[in-house]
Every structure is written in structure tokens, then in C-alpha cells.
Amino acid sequence: MKKIIYSLSLLILLMACGNQEVASEIKVSNIDELNTAIKTCQAGDNIVLSNGIWNDVQIKFRGKGTKDKPITLKAETEGKVTIEGQSYLKFGGEYLVVEGLHFKNGYSPSSAVIDFKISHKDTLDEIASHCKITNCVIEDFNKPKRDKSDLWVQFWGRHNELSNCYIAGKTNRGPTVRVSIEGIESINNYHQIVNNHFGPRPVKGGPSGETIQLGNSYTSMSPSHTMVSNNLFEECNGEVEVISSKTNFNEFRNNVFYKSEGSLVTRHGNYCTIDGNYFIGDGENENYGGIRIINTGHWVTNNYFYNLKGKSFRSPLAVMNGIPKSPLNRYNQVTDVVVAYNTYVNCSSPWQFGVGTNIAQADVLPKSEIRSARAIRTTVANNIVYNEKGLEAIVVENDKADGVLFKNNVVNNQGVAFENFNKGIVEASLGLKKISDNISLPTGVSNEIEAYNGYGFNDIENDLFGNSRKDNASIGAAFSVDVSNPNILDKSKYGTTWFSNEIKDKNPVTHNAANAEELQTKIDEANNGDIIIINRGKHVLSKSLVINKKITIKTIDKSKVILYFTGKENTPAFQLHPKGFLTLDNIYLKGNATNYAFASLIENMSNHFGLTVLNSELSNFNYVLKAYKETFAERITFENTIISNCENGIELSEETNDKGDYNTEYLTINNCDFNNVKANVIDYYRGGYDESTIGGNLLVTNSEFTNCGAKEKNKILLNHRGIVNVNIANNTFKNNAVEFVSILWGAKNNIESDNSLSNSGQIKTEENLVMKLMY
């Protein structure tokens, strides 16, 4: 009936509008009505989606608006239309605008959530131009399997726009946003990615977790001219590249990178402009990156770097070595790059050159993988570096920076001497003026040195704050410190008008579970962050507990409580679901020798899990922890815990297809006792040679391993092949029937110290690991 009324009103409306100038508002409340509206819409029309949940809607929005009269598809009330289930939105046409939708609780059954193209098999595709998605949210819209790749926004065509959106929570494979430029319809696209709030993207645990990717290596010769400006990137931690620019002539202006564990990388393609961006760290986390440069002709100007502790790949400025005559998908030499008028305050290693040099690995890598081509025809001028604590080197030369011209750079290094590159970097005594919590500007520069006027420098017209540089010869990102707080972290300046990701802190509620049966009920009742206390007694748990939120389960007195898990063979006492973050504290957990203590779901892990075990005792399990393929935990921690009499220990080695993926970012074992764990005591694996995924962190400290590894086939106690950061320190290994306690990867950050080994084989270092090439 509703439909008939709708159709009738539409008909009347259409009949009334003999004059095509009158645009109509077409309200629709289901997919059929929407499709009909789309079919008949004309320039200037507004299609309004009624508030509510739109489930399993696959929208192909096609039409031909005009510049002055776009066709709009929008929510009745901004944010009150949620797109859920298996849904997507594809644009095909001109001057189409989508506003106010909220994508959540679902995923796209296609290769993208938002697509600026409607594909066809036998006829030409419908490609969008001058289309826009704005004031929308995409949140946790993950495919159930992490290896299943998709994009949340895929650009095609020309002059399309993603603006004022909030986008966060992607865990599956694939960049969040990609600009695709295959085909002559999509080059010189001048797309706009502006004023968005890119919220947290969790660590992916492997490659293909970029927040924005512009093109790919196969189209890296093509002109793109995409503009990425005025966006906030907050905790975009997916992988080492927050933005991966792979085409030519892209511009990155006035963006804020806040606590993002990655860099803006000119991965392929050339002639990018990176101007007026803020890179803000916390003075501690070494994963927050800056700008990493590969290829030709980029201009890095007017950027501000604060409190960044990243080094090497994640330096504020990391200039890579290239591969001579590089294959298309590898590393071209850096040439003709300009780095000028930037300011670096309290960064651990502001400038690194020759990053990624791997000449030493010539034995294990083919010639076409050796990055030996240093940057040439590159200028670093008019920059300011301010260090509260003097650094040993302002320029770290992983390979010689002899192709770089340093000119008129000023450093306050607190009197600590440094190499000055033909006086291209000079010491100065500077002050610091606080502009805001995250911005302090060096003072007292202008009298020290005048700006070098390199070729084309006159085109750098404004400074970081938009003030004209004309007739001003001062250096650094801001030529004056008399500026007001730009409020770069005021989130209301980015994203939608109606959505905020700021969550108020809530005090956790404590629940009591009298017995094993009550446990699941209490977990189900609890809110994220709550605590459940198990009462005294011996509790028999016969079925896996489902953990699908952040929860702490503890006892007051471990000696008075035992949790026996009698569940089936190969099932876990605690089953970790997506977003299941479990802290187990002060628990004595015992299995039946065939079952597990903890495990992820076997499939459909569309989001991360986490596990922290404190002050506990775990015994008599087949596996202590079993993480299945395509599951990921950012952190897994065992502390002050005894693990004994188990067939297997901690198993995080399911990503065996050697594509650079792994199952946890941080595995921490501190002050634990492992006793009679027969195999896989620790089994943590990352396969595939991928120099830019700098992942996997294993910390094993202050622990004892006794009588373990008896059934370990490869005769290694702690298996961590391919993990980049390994630290084994202050442990005692006694009577473990293995050949090696550990084989460390010397070329990477694998170290050991102060371990005591008796009757346990040895710790060996292999400088270079032979790994499968991913590319």
C-alpha cells in the first residue's frame, strides 16, 4: 500500500512538474522505492531515505545531475539512517551527492562499500564524475575474514569527493580508501578527500592496511592530481603506511596525523606536494611516523613534526635508497626532491637517508631487491630542528647522503656536536614558544640565517599557517611565532556534523558469579570494561565461555578457587570472539589434557581479540592458546603466571601463506614459569619477505622454562621465525630437550641478554634469513 501511495505521489509530482526546473523531494522507505526513485530521478532531485535500519541494501545510484542541480540521496535525519547487513553504495553518473548515512553492523558483499563505478561484464562500466559522499560514517564494516580484501571507499572517474566523513575500524585486508586510476576515464582525476576524520584503524598484522592508497604500482606512471587535505588521521595504525601515494601529482595539505603508527609514504609515483601537515607524536611511541620518500620530484614543505620518536622507516623524514633500474613494483631511486621550510621539535631522528639499504643482504636476496641507489639531486633547505635534548646526529646516514644538498638549515642541539654537511646545517641557540599542547615553535631564528632561495622556491608562497612568505626570508614551517592556537585536534573541525568518536569514561561495574554456570550469564550481562569475580570453590566449566566484549574475570584468592574445564576435545575454556578482550587475573585454570585454555573463533573473526593473563596458573591443556588463521590480537600478555603440564603452549603461527601477515602484534611473556610444556612453547610466525611491514614483537623476560620442548619437532624452544622485534632477556632455561632455545634474526631487531641456559641447547643468531619473496 505504502508503495502504491509512493508511486502515485511520485507520478503526481512528475505530472505537476511540466516545468523541469522544479526539483522534487522523493521520500523512500525501502530498497524498491529507492530503486524506483533512482530510476526516475532528474537533475535537482532529492531522494530522502526514511530514518531507520536499512538492511542488505545494495544501492546503485545512477543519474545525471548538473553542477548547479545535483541529484541528492540523503538521510531523513543525518545519522538516523543506518546501512547494515550486506550492503554497498555505488555511484554511476554525474553530479550525484550522498549525505548523512551511517554504515555499520555489516559489510560489503562486493569489493567496496562505496564505489564510484558501477561495473558491467559485457558493456562499458558506468563511471562516476563530479560525485560526492559527505557527512557519512563507515564504522567497523568489516568482511568476516581478514584475508578477504575490500575497500571502504573506492574512487574511479574524475572530480569525485569524499568529505566530512568519519571512517574507522577497518581490520580486514585492503586500504580503507583507494583512488583507482586504471583507464583513461580516471586519470587527471582531481578527486577531493577533504575534511574527513579517519578514526582508529587497528594494527592489521601484515601489509595492505593503509588508510589511503592512491593508485597502485601498475598505474604509478599516471597523473592523478588527487587532493588530500584538512583531514584528521587519528590512530591510523593499520600498517606502516597511513597514506600510500602511488601515482603522480598528488597533493597532501594541512592534514593532521595524530598518534598514527605509520607514515605518509610516496611509495610509487612522483611529483607529490606535501605541504603544511602536522605530525604529532607522544614522545614515547616509536611507531608514529612522518614522511617516507621514494621516487622523484616530491616537495616536502611547511610541515610540522612534534614529539616523534620514530626511527628508520618511521623517521619524521625517511628518504629511502632505491633499487637501480627497479622493477615497476619495487623501489625507484629518490631524485629531484625538495625538503624545505619544515620544523622538527623534539624528534628522535628527524632526518634519515639511505633508509632501507640492504646491500649487506646481497647473499640472500636477488639483485633486483638490493636497494643501493642513494638519493640524488635532492635539496634540504631552510628547515629548523629543535631538540630539547641534543642528538648524536641530525642526519642519520644509513647510506651516504652525498647526493643531497643541505642549505641553510638551523638546529638547536643543546651544544651537542653533529656533522654539518658543508655547513648546510648550523647550530643556533633557539627558544621555544608553546602555541598549544601539541605545537611549540622555535623562536629566535630569523636573525640567525636567511632562507636559501633554491630553484622554484618562490613557488612556496605561504607558510604552515597560510601566511604569505613573500618578502620574508625566514626559515622553518612558520615564519612568525605570533600565531594563535590552530586547534588542530578539535574534532568538530573534521568529519560529520552528527557523529563523535569521543567516548566518556565509565567506571567499570563489578559482577559476582557464584559458579561456573553463572559465568556466561554474567558475561552476557556485563558492559564493556566490567569486572566479574568468581566466588570461592571448585567450579566445573563444561562449555566454552564466549568472550565478545572487554571483560576482566578474576578471583580474590586464587588458592581458594579452581576452574576445571571439562569441555570437549579441542574446544577452549574461553572462546575469544571479535572484539573479545579478556583479562584473566588470579585464576587457577585446569583442563582435561585434550582441550584448550583459550582460542579464537575458527572463522568469522571480523574484528580483533585480546588476551591478558595475570597472576594465574594454567595446566593440563592440549593448547594454552590457539589463534586460528585470519585472527588477530593486538596484544597477548602473560605475566606472573605458571603454565605447566601442557601438550602445547602459545600457538600464533597460522599465517603460513607467507604474505607478511601474523597473528599478534605484541606477545609479552614476563615473569612466568613454563614447566613440562611439550611443544610449541611459544610459536609465533610471520612469513614472506616484506621489508616495509615492520611487525611482530616478542618480549620474553624474567621467566623460567623447565623440562619443555620434549616433543618439539624442529628442536627449537621459542619459535619466532620472521618476527622483526624479539627480545629475550633475564630468563632461565633448564633441562629443555632442544637444540636451540632461540634462533635470532641478526639483520633485524632480534636480541637476547642475561639468559641462563643449562642443558637446554643454545641461542643462535643468523644474520640473514632466507624468506619467500612476496613481490
Shorter beta-carbon distance to a second copy: residue 127 or 411: 127
DSSP letter at 560 equals: G
Record the cell numbers describing residue 96, joined without a space. Answer: 550525484
CB-based contacts of 490: which residues, under 8 Å, 6+ apart? none
Round the CA-based radius of gyration of the chain to a whole number and report it. Answer: 28
Kindly tell me which of 294 and 717 has the beta carbon lying closer to a second copy.
Answer: 294
Q: Maximum Cα–Cα distance for the chain, whole Å? A: 93
Q: Which residues contact 441 (CB under 8 A, 6 or more apart)?
A: 343, 345, 432, 433, 435, 476, 477, 478, 481, 483
Query: Which of 286, 336 has the CB closer to a second copy?
Result: 336
Q: How far is CA 213 from CA 110, 242, 246, 349, 498, in A?
A: 19, 8, 7, 26, 27
- Residue with Cβ nearer a second copy (52 or 456): 456
The alpha carbon of 200 is separated from its chain's Cα centroid by a whole number of angstroms, namely 8
Q: Tell me the closest approach of the beta carbon of residue 326 to a second copy, in angstroms.
A: 6
Cell of 648: 602445547
Q: Is the torsion defined by CA of 424, 425, 430, 434 positive or negative? A: positive
Spatial contact of 99 and 136, defined as CB atoms under 8 Å apart: yes
Nearest-approach distance from CB 452 to a second copy, in angstroms: 12
Considering the complex, state which of residue 87 and residue 326 has its C-beta at the smaller distance from a second copy: 326
- Rounded Cα distance between 82 and 50, Å, is 10
Closest to a second copy by CB, 330 or 491:
330
Coil, strand or helix: which one is 347? coil
How many Cα atoms are found within 13 Å in the side-chain-facing hemisphere of 621? Answer: 35
Question: In the complex with a second copy, which residue's Cβ is closer, 205 or 269?
Answer: 269
Cell reading at 266: 610516496
By beta-carbon proximity to a second copy, the closer residue of 157 and 350 is 157
C-beta of 343: minimal distance to a second copy in Å? 23
For the chain, first and last CA: distance in Å? 58
Nearer to a second copy, 224 or 641 (CB): 224
Instruction: Find how far residue 707's CA is from the centre of its chain.
Output: 40
Q: At what angle do helices 2-16 and 31-40 cross, to 10 degrees?
A: 10
Alpha carbon distance 101, 312 (integer Å): 41
User: Which 8-state DSSP code applies to residue 239?
Assistant: S
Q: Minimum distance between the CB of residue 192 and a second copy, rounded to whole angstroms?
A: 21
- Distance in Å, CB of 226 to a second copy, minimum: 16
Shortest separation between residue 377's beta carbon and a second copy, angstroms = 6
Least separation in angstroms between residue 14's CB and a second copy is 30
CA distance 256 to 278: 5
Q: CA-CA distance, 604 to 731, in Å (whole number)?
A: 37
Compute the least distance from the CB of residue 283 to a second copy, in Å.
36
Instruction: Pick between residue 460 and residue 723 the one whose CB is nearest to a second copy.
Output: 460
Q: What are phi and psi of 12, to 5 degrees?
A: -60, -45
Summarize as ranges the residues that interact with a second copy (CB under 8 A): 182-185, 187, 217-219, 221-223, 248, 269-271, 295-297, 325-330, 332-333, 335-336, 338, 368, 377, 455-456, 775
CB of 379 to a second copy, least distance (A): 9
Q: Which is nearer to a second copy, 409 or 664 (CB)?
A: 409
Minimal distance in Å, beta carbon 317 to a second copy? Answer: 18
Residue 114 or residue 338: which is nearer to a second copy going by CB? 338
For residue 97, which amino acid is it? V
Shortest Å distance, C-beta 319 to a second copy: 16
- Rounded Cα gap, residues 691 and 313, in angstroms: 10
| Length of the chain in terms of residues written | 775
Tell the smallest beta-carbon distance from residue 325 to a second copy (Å). Answer: 5
Cα(525)–Cα(506) distance, integer angstroms? 16
- For residue 121, the minimal CB distance to a second copy (Å) is 15
68/459 with CB nearer a second copy: 459
Q: How many CB atoms are located within 10 Å of the residue 459 CB? A: 9
Closest alpha carbon to 582 in 614, 536, 618, 558:
614
